[in-house]
Every structure is written in C-alpha cells, then in structure tokens.
Amino acid sequence: MSNLLTDWRHRDTHRRVWALAAPMILSNISVPLVALVDSAVIGHLPHAHQLGAVAVGASLYTFLAWAMGFLRMGATGFAAQAAGRNDGAALRQILLQGLLLAMGLALLLALIALPFSHLALSWMQPSADLHELTLDFFHTRLFGLPAALASYALVGWFLGTQNARAPMAILLTTNLVNIALNLWFVLGLDWGVVGSARASVIAEWTGALLGLALTRNSLRAWPGQVAWALLAVWQSWRPLLAVNRDIFIRSLALQSVFFLITVQGARLGDATVAANALLLNGLLLTAHALDGLAHAVEALCGHAIGAHDRFALRRSMTVAGGWSLICSAAFMVVFLLGGTCSSKCRPTSRRCARQPSSTCRIWRRCPWSRSGVTCWMACSSAPPEPGKCATACCSASPSPRPSLMSPMGWATTGCG
C-alpha cells in the first residue's frame, strides 16, 4: 500500500499521463458523438426502421472493424518500446507492418462481409424495410474499411512515439468531416440512410490520408532506415502477430456482447433496436473517454519497458489505474442523474422512450466494468515477452462482459 501511495503522489507521472490522455479523451469523445449525431440526424426522418437500419448496419460494421482493434494496441506497445530504445529503424518497420497488416485484413474482411451480413440478419429476423436499408448501409460502409483499419495502425504508432497531437488531428478531422457530411447528405441532399454511410466512408478516407501525411514529420525525429529485407522474414512478424492474436480474442468476445444486444433488439422490433442504439451510444461515450487513459498508459508503459525502467512502469500503471476509477465513478454519477433525458432530443426516439427507461438501471452500472480494462488491457499490448502478458490480462481482467455476459445472453435469448 505504501508503494502505491508513493507512486500516486509522483506529480511528474500525473503530468505525463494527462499530457497524453487529455487530447486523446477529447478526440475519442468525438467518436461516439458522431454516432449520436447520426442518430439525431436519422432520427429526424419519419420512420423508426430508418434509425434501426443505421443502428444494425453500424453494429455489423463495428463488429468487423473493432475486432481489428489489436492493430492500434499492438502498434502502440511495440512502437513505444522502440521509442524507449531510440530505435528509428524499428519504428519504421512497425509502421510498415501495421499498415500492411491493415490492408491484408481489410481484404479478408471484405471477402467474408457479405455472407456475414446475410447470416447475421437471418438471426435477427428484422422487418423487410429494416432488412433492405441495413444491407444498403452496411455494403456502403465497407468501402471505408481499409481506411478505418489503416487509421487504427497509424493512431497506435503515433501514440507509441508519445505523439498525442497527430491522433487527435486524425480523429477530430474524421469525425468533424463525418458530422458535416451527414448533415449535408441526409438533410440537405435527402440521401437518407445511404447518405449517412457515404459520409462515414469519405470521412474515414480523409482521416487515413491525413495520418499518412503526418508520419513524414514524425519520422524526422527518429533517424533510421527501413530494413526492407526484414519484412519478408517470418520472425520479424511473429512478436506483433502473437500479441495481436491475444488482443483479437479479447476484442472479439467484447464485440460479441454488443452484437448480441443488437441481434436481440432486432428480434423484438424496430422500436427496440432503435432504443438500444441510443443506450449503446451513451455507453460508447463513456468507453471512448476512458480509452484516453488507456492510450496514455500503453505509451508510457511501453516506453518504460523499452528503457528498462521498472519504477516508471509501476508509477504509470498506478496513476492511470487510479484516474480510470475516478473517471468511471464520475461517469456513473452523471448517467445516474441524467436519466433518459437524451432520448427526448430526437423526434423518432420519443416513440422509443419507454424502452431505454426500463433498462437504464442496468446500463448505469457499466462504467465500473471499464476501469480495470483501461489499465491492464493497455499494458498487455506491449509485454516484455510477447504473448504472455496479453493472455494473462484477458483472463485476469475484472470486466465481466467478455467472459460472463456473452454466454448469459445466449442462455436467456428466450426471455426477450
């Protein structure tokens, strides 16, 4: 306990954590805010199935894209270790490996996306109108998948070099473009649900191209040469793939929980799936904000591991873990007091207002499950021995969602 208190009182660590976390929290909050804007814009359309189509289509797309979140976490850990060693050549190799892996995974996901969407919708059993609009939205969003995965790798790499400004520029640009084009395409040009998807695709490519442009200036601070021959050697890929495998299992389990909520909501009707979309948007607001602290601890812990600084590693974990608990408690209080007032801001959602109000009591408890994951899952992306820490983290995480909620959800499908 005395060591924890000593670590917590280390002011320089607080400053370093928030120097990285603050800009990432601000930029991360813009991600679910885009979903909230999408819901608000589509909510002004006359039918509930239109909002439901965006919710279901986005859930299908998110299931595929966010399951690849290891691209960011893995890149952050290894880039941070390379930066701690002042190894410019390794930083260049990690950047290229991340981008090549993103392009390969985007191609693989494109091949399985169409059968996956038809299978998922057959489970959901939506109405005919919801089914048709969901496919239109999802198929359009797939054109932005390569850019989204490339952005994951770029953001992770920038964070590993302890550069929080570049990821903030990428995320804010992507989300502001998305919001502006959503308003124009849906309300101005009257393109409806497909217009919302087109706005997201253009925004994702804008962010990815900006990220590529920003890497040039960042690489100047880390002199070195690209070892092209190593890209053809399996051993140079093995550590990155080993860590990504473990984080992928965790991400897949977590996304399965959110996907299950959408599946069950679609089975219960258009109004229910729309109401669930509003609830999940609020939950994602909390999760993305706390991810700012996760990004900070990944970069700082990876840097400490690369520099072989055990005390800096412990202080970073203690300070970031403490702030994650404080912030999650604050979010819980906000949602406890906020109630269902957000549902009254969207014309379509007023018809769904009774749906979220009956489940908010459960949802308000969700921020607590994020606190442990914020620190411990962050550290797992940059283990001293690739593969071990990430696996242990998946089993030791205090979050009940991947391990308990998924089987419980399937076991209670008959209850609605």
Q: pTM of the prediction? A: 0.70
More confident residue, 284 or 151: 151
pLDDT > 90 in the chain, percent: 14
pLDDT at 401: 39
What is the mean predicted confidence (pLDDT) over 332-360? Answer: 54
- What is the percentage of the chain residues whose pLDDT exceeds 70? 76
Query: For residues 45 and 185, is the Cβ–Cβ distance under 8 A?
Result: no
- Is residue 404 predicted with pLDDT exceeding 70? no
Residue 1: pLDDT band by 50, 70, 90 thresholds?
A: low
Task: Tell me the mean pLDDT in the region 27-54.
Answer: 72
Confidence of residue 32 (pLDDT cuts 50, 70, 90): low
pLDDT at 255 over 90: no
Residue 392, phi-psi category: left (phi > 0), alpha (psi -120 to 50), beta (remainder): alpha
pLDDT beyond 60 at 344: no
* pLDDT of 147: 93
Most confident of the following: 205-209, 269-273, 334-338, 347-351 = 205-209
Comparing 81 with 277, which gets the higher pLDDT? 81
Confidence of residue 349 (pLDDT cuts 50, 70, 90): very low
Supply the pLDDT for residue 143.
93
Confidence of residue 339 (pLDDT cuts 50, 70, 90): low
Q: Residue 270's pLDDT is what? A: 65
Q: Once rounded to an integer, what is the mean pLDDT over residues 69-93?
A: 85
Range scoring the smallest mean pLDDT among 126-140, 142-156, 251-265, 307-321: 251-265
| pLDDT > 70? residue 345 | no
Highest mean pLDDT among 46-50, 134-138, 329-333: 134-138
Identify the CA nearest to 303 among candidates 222, 244, 379, 223.
379
Mean pLDDT of 96-122: 90
Report the C-alpha gap between 88 and 218 in whole angstroms.
11
Rg (CA), the chain: 21
Residue 259 vs residue 179, higher pLDDT: 179
Report CA-CA distances (Å) from 210 to 171, 172, 267, 299. Answer: 10, 11, 40, 21
- Cα→Cα distances 375→14, 51, 257, 290, Å: 14, 35, 21, 10
Q: Is the pLDDT of residue 350 over 90?
A: no
φ, ψ (nearest 5 deg) of residue 65: -70, -45
Mean pLDDT over all residues of the chain? 75
State residue 11's pLDDT score: 86
